[in-house]
Amino acid sequence: GHIVRNWKVRWFVLLQDKLLYYKIEGGKKEPSPKGRILLDGCTITCPCLEYENRPLLIKLKTKTNTDYFLECCSREERDSWALDITGAIHAGHPVQVQELHRMKNSFKLLENISLHHIVERMCDSSTGIKRTRNLEQGNRYKETFTGSALVDWLISNSFAVSRFEAVTLASMLMEENFIKPVGARSTEATRYSDLSEQFLDDSTALYMFAESSKKNTSSKEELQFNISELRGTIVKQGFLVKQGHKRKNWKVRRFVLRADPAFLHYYDPTKEENRPVGGFSLRGCLVSALEDNGVPAGVKGNVQGNLFKIITKKDIHYYIQASSKAERAQWIEAIKPLT
């Protein structure tokens, strides 16, 4: 409410240029609307995190600077309403509407992503993620946050544009030991080897900051690269998931493909410095796609048909997973001419 700041149930109807709301009496909406929100010039915030105990809010600010806070019944319903309202706001610009739907279903992480920066923002006492006590199966956990709360926070702070992207980022934070699962619900999910299934966008899955948010790397583990390797022209770059050589776990890496000289380097997105953590010459390499029935026994995890393999001249095998078959084909086509 605008005068008395209480919350009331209203029946909403979205039209092309306005949002109408009706009073409910006796389980039925009244024939005339109680009020209307003109969408021309509106800005929408979703998720809106201004009310700590109300995570399912949409905020609408009209061009006359009137704020409306609308609470939905579920995250799915909230996101659906937000997308449709945003589409109505931009109804006169069909290209923008198409772009909104594309972004909702896209998979494109920020190119210069820094997990250290995200964690610093998460820990901020005023704008960071809210940590509270939570109860699960009789156990009380301090300083925790839910999986869905983290996804909402990542989107509201513009680290991701869709829930799928935010889940991928959260999985990276967990994989790199910035956050850890707490309780049976979230811990059970970590048994899946596939990165996309380890973090839960769920209001019952609990997480907390890991005791150490930074990993120390010994000097023996630091890799030295000849500067000439990095002087080549960048042909292609992007995020892929790579299987480790020792632990056989899957980690997100930013891959950079260069020509003249032909090298493929990969970077740890959690590190501030822009230096590769691995790489190899492509001369004499073999690259090929691996379907489900062609996955070697040594490969662990849920590959889902988007895997490809690179065998170097020194007979070192690299197993890399793309987010789609189309992306895998693009990488293979880019690498082959350089081998």
User: In 3D, which of 68, 91, 88, 86 has the Cα closest to residue 21?
Assistant: 68
Cβ count within 10 A of residue 140: 9
Q: CATH number, domain at 148?
A: 1.10.10.10
Angle between helices 147-156 and 163-175 (to 10 degrees): 110
Task: Supply the CATH number for residue 288's domain.
Answer: 2.30.29.30
Q: What is the DSSP string of 99-146?
A: HHHHHHT-----TT--HHHHHHHHH-TTTS---EEEEETTEEEEEEEE
Host domain of residue 327:
227-336
In a domain, 222, yes or no: no
23 falls within a domain: yes
175 and 97 housed in the same domain:
no
Beta-carbon contacts of 218 under 8 Å, excluding residues fewer than 6 positions away, are none
Distance CA 29, CA 9 (A): 11
Residue 74: φ, ψ to 5°: -155, 165
Cβ-based neighbours of 189, under 8 Å, separated by 6 or more: 181, 197, 198, 199, 200, 205
Both 195 and 283 in a single domain?
A: no
Beta carbons of 56 and 73 less than 8 angstroms apart = yes
Q: Are residues 331 and 245 in the same domain?
A: yes
What integer pLDDT is reported at residue 214 of this predicted model? Answer: 38
Which of these three, 80, 104, 128, is where a domain ends?
A: 104
175 with 273, same domain: the answer is: no
Residue-wise pLDDT for 63-113, tens only, equals 999 999 999 888 778 888 888 898 888 876 656 555 555 555 444 555 556
Whether residue 294 is contained in a domain is answered as: yes
**Confidence category of residue 59, pLDDT binned at 50, 70, 90:** very high
Residue 152, in any domain of the structure? yes
Task: Look at the pTM and tell me if it is higher than 0.75.
Answer: no
- Whether residues 241 and 275 fall in one domain: yes
Sheet holding 11-14: strands in order across?
Answer: 11-14, 18-22, 35-38
Same domain, 307 and 274: yes
| Tens digits of residue pLDDT in 174-193 | 877 789 898 888 888 877 65
218 within some domain? no
Inside any domain, residue 217: no
Last residue of a domain, one of 59, 82, 104: 104
Tell me, yes or no, whether 125 lies in a domain: yes
Same domain membership, residue 99 and residue 130: no
Mean of pLDDT over the chain: 80
Q: Residues near 38 by Cβ (< 8 Å), separated by ≥ 6?
A: 17, 18, 62
- Domain membership flag for residue 247: yes
Q: How many domains is the chain built from? A: 3
Single out the residue in 54, 83, 104 at which a domain terminates: 104
User: How do residues 196-252 score in pLDDT, each as one tens digit?
Assistant: 567 898 888 999 998 644 343 333 333 455 667 777 888 998 888 888 876 677 788
